Structure 1
């Protein structure tokens, strides 16, 4: 049976707020009645005072004899000597007013329960309504906090899980609470644990694959050394050497991708100049570009000092720039431009080529793992841009691709300054 504890808590809370609002209002009304501070009593006192002031003592006596007095209330008319002239005796008056009759005689009107009345009856106060409103608001606030605080904790925890911190847990923060939100927190904690196990299993698999592949690589290199002594088998030697080099490159890229995906604690961060890093990469890329009769131009007037993983950032920029050199047209130019934004707190790097470009519907897919951008016959493995994307995201940056002006592809990388 589905548990509905949260539903009943909300139902009872709002019901209790409404009941208290009603009881406070009804209680205040009953208290007024018990005190005798009613519109009927006030009207009687005001009328009696008017009769004494405008007419004479006899008119005031007749009014008290004819007009019924509220139950439990005493109203009496006294002379200046304290002798009761009309009405009921008032031993402990709560209301007393002196008035001079038309004959000049001083008279005193006393009542057992009344407020400080004026000539006109005062309206009933707004106290009960305000009290009930405030109590309803208080209960609504408590209910809102009861619901929104754990939901905010859940949102914070899911944000940390999205950043790769799978050790976060929500249920311990909820204490001894028992309802559907606790069940949701348990499911979220269980999901974080399963994600952590899956990611660790993936990382272990990548490392195991890399380790296992290095053994046949060692044997291949040994075989290459033996074959060099047999010139008649040189064709096979070149093929083995080429394949072993490709396998070595694949392993290196897999290791880099594994590190970019798993390194979340920034333990190896160090201060570095990204512009200087770009200059080193461009200098190395110019040698490869010269073989294709093209050029690599760097435009970066100012340094940009930040903290990060130098190796991962180097691989990220190197993969993008080498891709641009690989696909640009012979005799063309690859342009690498870096500029500071937001008062020097952010670096924007654009790498543009003059190659065939990428179809608009594939601009996002080229950053996926093992995606070769439709070039299935090329020498690449489809890991270069995936490594660049993971490394830039690890440094809280953004990487995106778009068509370049005049054809080709433009890759935009934005990095914040990390302290």
Structure 2
């Protein structure tokens, strides 16, 4: 933009300067002709011409050396052939002339001023001076091509200034702007390479004075952000401690109470309370998992993760639930090892919630299938069920927190797919909700780049 502005300003100025210079040069050359004519008139007034020419004699012709001869004899160019003068009396009798002006026709009227002539193949600019007191008419001329040489030299000088100056100016402006923006580039790199959870203030060597308030404001803002994240981490830990322990203790007391002799009504009530506490515990676990993912503390440092191993661990963890539900579960792994760069805890949460979500939407004796397969540089994870599925127009809304489909038969709290989406974001993965191959049910496809995990601190918010 700066270069375009400079070009837009300098080019019109250069054109105006060129035209103005041509005008001034023409006026200067015309002034030189007039001055030369008046100088010759002064010499004539002092008797120079009348002493040379006697009555009845031929006019005096001043010889002019040709261009070839002057280069041969003088080894320099004098431009004699490109200028000339002519002196005659008021009756039109030639008295004095240069050789190149000897055959120049006399003017029709004796009026002082400038005229343009075409004579012997050349254009001439001629100034006529009529001196009635001295009885002479003086004509001083200069060839147009000589004038054009001067204007051409001026145009070349001006043009070279633009042709050389503008590219050079563009390079210098580009260098200056790049140097001026270098601190911003270094600031960007410092922010991009900043470790999650770091409280080290950003330091920029040789930062310009204009950027120092920005760096200070960023450091202050990052400090407040880390304080907020630290409070969230502590809150998650406190909630986990304060809620899990009482819930576990209450579950134990209920189990103890139910082991004794109870009436059918009391046992039913205790069983209902136990089921409610189990659901509450599950909801708390989901909320804590989502909070840990949002705070970026569950994943830890990115490392090489074997998805097959993670899937086996999740299946082992869910084995009791799968057995009680009566769901026909199948795991298809096409390779013994499928490794990606990522966060093991987040991938485990993704698999766990996908499988649980499928189980909650299939009927009794339904089918859930998990498959892992590599395609090029990606690992494709699919969970397929034969439940009622999700209509295409509602699939975009199921990732919202606390959203539950009416077909859900489980005790979920609408957070499973939110956790799945957040875990996918941490790995730069894509999620697709498709129809099951059988035509009934849902297929959830997650495509994970083998090295596509992103830093938690820089990942987009799941909202």
Radius of gyration: which is bigger?
2
Aligned partner of 1:231 in structure 2 is 261
Query: Would the alpha carbon gap of residues 287 and 212 (structure 1) be closer, same or farther in structure 2, given more than 3 Å must change?
Result: closer
TM-score of the pair, normalised by structure 1:
0.61
Q: Matched residues in 1 for 2:327 and 2:252: separation?
A: 37
State whether residues 308 and 395 of structure 1, in contact with CA within 8 Å, keep that contact through their aligned partners in structure 2.
Answer: yes
What is the total number of aligned residue pairs between the two structures? 343
Query: Would the alpha carbon gap of residues 219 and 403 (structure 1) be closer, same or farther in structure 2, given more than 3 Å must change?
Result: same
State whether residues 65 and 81 of structure 2, in contact with CA within 8 Å, keep that contact through their aligned partners in structure 1.
Answer: no
Aligned partner of 1:246 in structure 2 is 279
1:285 deviates by 5.6
Aligned partner of 2:243 in structure 1 is 213
Which segment drifts farther, 261-270 or 380-389? 261-270
Query: Would the alpha carbon gap of residues 327 and 147 (structure 1) be closer, same or farther in structure 2, given more than 3 Å must change?
Result: farther
State whether residues 228 and 237 of structure 1, in contact with CA within 8 Å, keep that contact through their aligned partners in structure 2.
Answer: yes
Query: Would the alpha carbon gap of residues 62 and 321 (structure 1) be closer, same or farther in structure 2, given more than 3 Å must change?
Result: closer
Query: Would the alpha carbon gap of residues 412 and 174 (structure 1) be closer, same or farther in structure 2, given more than 3 Å must change?
Result: farther
1:324 deviates by 1.4
State whether residues 295 and 333 of structure 1, in contact with CA within 8 Å, keep that contact through their aligned partners in structure 2.
Answer: yes
Query: Would the alpha carbon gap of residues 142 and 312 (structure 1) be closer, same or farther in structure 2, given more than 3 Å must change?
Result: closer
1:297 aligns with 2:314: no
Quick one: which of 412, 424, 428 aligns to 1:380? 412
Aligned partner of 2:352 in structure 1 is 318
Quick one: which of 326, 340, 365 aligns to 2:397? 365
Aligned partner of 1:278 in structure 2 is 311
* 1:367-412 deviation line (CA, Å, top 9, x unaligned): 2332223468841122222222222322332333233341322111
1:130 aligns with 2:163: yes
State whether residues 286 and 295 of structure 1, in contact with CA within 8 Å, keep that contact through their aligned partners in structure 2.
Answer: no
* 1:286-333 deviation line (CA, Å, top 9, x unaligned): 765565554223332112123443333222112102221331244443
Query: Would the alpha carbon gap of residues 332 and 243 (structure 1) be closer, same or farther in structure 2, given more than 3 Å must change?
Result: closer
Q: Matched residues in 2 for 1:371 and 1:173: separation?
A: 50
Aligned partner of 1:49 in structure 2 is 66
1:337 aligns with 2:371: yes
Alignment of 1:43-82 (within 5 A): 48-50=65-67, 52=69, 66=85
Secondary structure of the corresponding residue to residue 247 of structure 1: helix
Q: Matched residues in 2 for 1:65 and 1:275: separation?
A: 103
Runs of 5+ unmatched residues, structure 2: 26-31, 33-63, 87-147, 453-463
1:363 deviates by 1.9
> What do you get for the CA RMSD once the two structures are aligned?
5.4
State whether residues 66 and 81 of structure 2, in contact with CA within 8 Å, keep that contact through their aligned partners in structure 1.
Answer: no
Secondary structure of the corresponding residue to residue 306 of structure 1: strand
TM-score of the pair, normalised by structure 2:
0.56
